[in-house]
Amino acid sequence: MRPTRYIYTIPYLERKMTRFLVNFYLFLSLTLVFSADLKEIPILGSKNIPRLLTEEIMAGLYYRVRQNHSVFFKPEDSEDLYVGVTDFVYTFDMDHLQFIDNFNVTGQNQQCSEEPCKNVVTVIEKLQDKLLVCAANGLKPQCWELSPSGNIQHKWRGISPFSYSQNSLSLFADGDLYAAAPSEVDGSLLQFRRVAGNRNYVWMHDSWVSEPTFISASLVKRADDPDNEKIYFFFRERNSYHNPEADPWISRVARVCKVDEGGPKGFFQNKWTSFLKSRLICGFPEESLYFNHLQDIYVVHAENWRQTRVYALFTSSWNFTAVCIYSIEMIETVFQNSSFTGYDQEIPRPRPGTCVKDSKSLPWGTISIVRDHPEMTDWVHSIHQTAPFYISSHNYTKIVVDRVKAADQREYNILLLATDTGLIHKVLEAGSEPFIISQTQISNNSSVQAMKLDSKKKKLVVGFSEKISTMDLQTCKKYNSCEECVLARDPYCSWTTKCTATVLGGIQNIMNGSISVCSTTTKGN
Ligand SMILES: *[C@@H]1O[C@H](CO)[C@@H](O)[C@H](O)[C@H]1NC(C)=O
Ligand SMILES: *[C@@H]1O[C@H](CO)[C@@H](O)[C@H](O)[C@H]1NC(C)=O
Ligand SMILES: *[C@@H]1O[C@H](CO)[C@@H](O)[C@H](O)[C@H]1NC(C)=O
Ligand SMILES: *[C@@H]1O[C@H](CO)[C@@H](O)[C@H](O)[C@H]1NC(C)=O
Ligand SMILES: *[C@@H]1O[C@H](CO)[C@@H](O)[C@H](O)[C@H]1NC(C)=O
Ligand SMILES: *[C@@H]1O[C@H](CO)[C@@H](O)[C@H](O)[C@H]1NC(C)=O
Ligand SMILES: *[C@@H]1O[C@H](CO)[C@@H](O)[C@H](O)[C@H]1NC(C)=O
Ligand SMILES: *[C@@H]1O[C@H](CO)[C@@H](O)[C@H](O)[C@H]1NC(C)=O
């Protein structure tokens, strides 16, 4: 049975959640420590009590002035990390977090030097071989192609917002630049567009979204079928269902075809002909209890596109956060099989949303359904269907996910979740059960602005308003015995003669943390 279409808010929830939370706390208290102050490390020795490693990293590179906004960019083929802040783009060596270079983009708007006129960098992308830097530039967004021979200016609209506090996102994929940013100074006309590159400039139809906040976009590759590749983007928008008890916001996944060049001349020219959207569900469908506020997204790509997974972080109106996991295969099933909301006639061929090489030759009937009814009736459910993967009272704001090869050659997913108070939680995805491995305090009281995972080097770089810090994900030295090492259930670490970075055949028991594996060998000191 399909749940009702609206979402309950606080008065109803308080009753409903009390019962639910009691059960949940009982469950959670076994798998993770819930206290706000985690200075006390749980006692070791029982399988049911996790070894929660707590540490502090206060080192880092401090800015001379506090930054209100920062963006990270790391090209795939380089060890350099670019950090865009007010007036500057800094380059760092990711390995040692050493300062390499800076590009000075100060004073591009000479008339004004106060906030909000400051030139705050909002977008860094690689466009072909050049580094593209866009900044709010005192309400006159501007992009520069940075090169040693001098900076070239562009007046491209729709890449940078007018102020860093406005919503925006960017994606460089297959030779094209996609971006979402308002095209008006008041923040309106916020859209997801293709803005530069080899293919046509394409934008959205005005009625498709309502007051959106774009969170993330990703191209999902299909090695065997490149013309069918799609760009998925994730956002939240105003809920069009006007019920006083309904949550005002709703979270979405949408997609467009990479090969979409817009409709024919005179009808839907330069507009996406393949745009479809669906509701992204995270919560308890049986109870109609949902986390509706999408906060952050991390896509873990797989060789086979069907196995590509989307990790989505949500908050709720009752201030809990949740992580739900989706597969691209399940998302595609909805887009390929669902009916179209508000349309009950026969679905024309080709089916609206199909990727075709020449989108300008699509028939009117197909395009007009995309124009008028792009919303899927079916919803996208998480792979765990009946409940979120992980729920917490911590106010998480960012997520990244690392795939880690354990000593038995199996791969495990590690979620790295950042709170608004400078903590990073390292959470193991043990089947359908979350397990908190460690908590690291990286900043005393500021919220994470940007986060970048270096999976090869097993490092996480985190940007705050006051500094940039790196967190080593392989902190195995902290575990002093085989038992501690195994109880940690940390796929980055295994026991040999000491607890060390995982080696093939090292002693480890990720799924159960069962210390019996230690007795089969002589213990270290
Ligand atoms: C951050 O914002 C504050 C308040 O608006 C402002 O005074 C400060 O100069 C800004 N910092 C930077 C680096 O732009
Ligand atoms: C950056 O450029 C501005 C304007 O050209 C100049 O006033 C400022 O001193 C430069 N800052 C640095 C650190 O080079
Ligand atoms: C949630 O947090 C916000 C901001 O901190 C607060 O105003 C609100 O009362 C909280 N809601 C609940 C249900 O605790
Ligand atoms: C999607 O629809 C096709 C054709 O109607 C059907 O064969 C397939 O089983 C459906 N897939 C799912 C997951 O429902
Ligand atoms: C959670 O963190 C965000 C970002 O710092 C903040 O805007 C929000 O108010 C916080 N929510 C609560 C309930 O504290
Ligand atoms: C963080 O707070 C602790 C205790 O309040 C203090 O000792 C430490 O110096 C602070 N670190 C930074 C970087 O502010
Ligand atoms: C917390 O941040 C404020 C600025 O936002 C700073 O003045 C204060 O020193 C910080 N506190 C600690 C303990 O670091
Ligand atoms: C974990 O425990 C379960 C049940 O006790 C068992 O079936 C499974 O083989 C164990 N897995 C590992 C990796 O030890």
Residue nearest to atom 4 of ligand 3 (CA): 319
Number of C-alpha atoms within 13 angstroms, CB side, residue 328? Answer: 23
Question: Distance from the CA of 482 to the center of ligand 7, in angstroms?
Answer: 39
Instruction: Give the ligand 8 atom nearest the CA of 408.
Output: 13
Instruction: Give the ligand 1 atom nearest the CA of 115.
Output: 5
Look-up of token digits 């983009």: 105
Residue nearest to atom 12 of ligand 7 (CA): 444
- The answer to whether the CB of 336 is under 6 A from ligand 8 is no
Residues ≥6 apart with Cβ < 8 Å to 454:
74, 94, 460, 461
DSSP-derived 3-state class of residue 352: coil
Q: Return d(Cα 159, Cα 135) in angstroms, integer.
A: 9
Candidate from 410, 411, 511, 517 with most ligand 8 atoms within 8 A of CB, to mutate:
511
Residue nearest to atom 1 of ligand 3 (CA): 319
Q: Return d(Cα 297, Cα 213) in angstroms, integer.
A: 13
Q: Estimate the share of the chain in helix, then strand, then coil, as percent rounded to the nearest 5.
A: 15, 40, 50
A 10 A CB-CB count for 376 gives 22
- The answer to whether the CB of 339 is under 6 A from ligand 4 is no
Q: What is the CA radius of gyration of the chain?
A: 24
Measured in whole angstroms, the distance separating CA 47 from the mean position of its chain's CA atoms is 32
Q: What is the pLDDT along the chain (525 residues), one digit of tens a residue?
A: 333 333 333 333 333 443 344 333 333 332 232 222 222 223 322 334 445 556 667 678 888 889 999 999 998 888 888 999 888 888 888 776 666 666 666 655 555 555 556 788 999 998 777 888 898 888 888 888 877 666 677 767 789 999 999 999 999 999 999 999 999 999 999 999 999 989 999 999 999 999 999 999 999 999 999 999 999 999 999 998 877 778 899 999 999 999 999 999 989 999 999 999 999 999 999 988 999 999 999 999 999 999 999 999 999 988 999 999 999 999 999 999 999 999 999 999 999 999 999 999 999 999 999 999 999 999 999 999 999 999 999 999 999 999 999 999 999 999 999 999 999 999 999 999 999 999 999 988 688 999 999 999 899 999 999 999 999 999 899 899 999 999 999 999 999 999 999 998 899 999 998 989 998 655 443
Question: Distance from the CA of 397 to the center of ligand 5, in angstroms?
Answer: 8
Question: Distance from the CA of 67 to the center of ligand 8, in angstroms?
Answer: 48
Residue 498: exposure state from Cβ atoms within 10 A (0-12, 13-18, ≥19): middle
Residue nearest to atom 13 of ligand 6 (CA): 58
All structural domains of the chain, each given as residue ranges with its CATH number in brackets, are 202-393 (2.130.10.10)
Residues ≥6 apart with Cβ < 8 Å to 304:
none
Question: Distance from the CA of 446 to the center of ligand 7, in angstroms?
Answer: 8
Q: Give helix then strand counts, H and E, for the chain.
A: 4, 32
- Indicate yes or no: pTM above 0.75: yes
Q: Return d(Cα 158, Cα 144) in angstroms, integer.
A: 14
Residue nearest to atom 4 of ligand 5 (CA): 420
β 190-197/213-220 pair status: unpaired
A 10 A CB-CB count for 78 gives 11
Question: Distance from the CA of 56 to the center of ligand 6, in angstroms?
Answer: 10
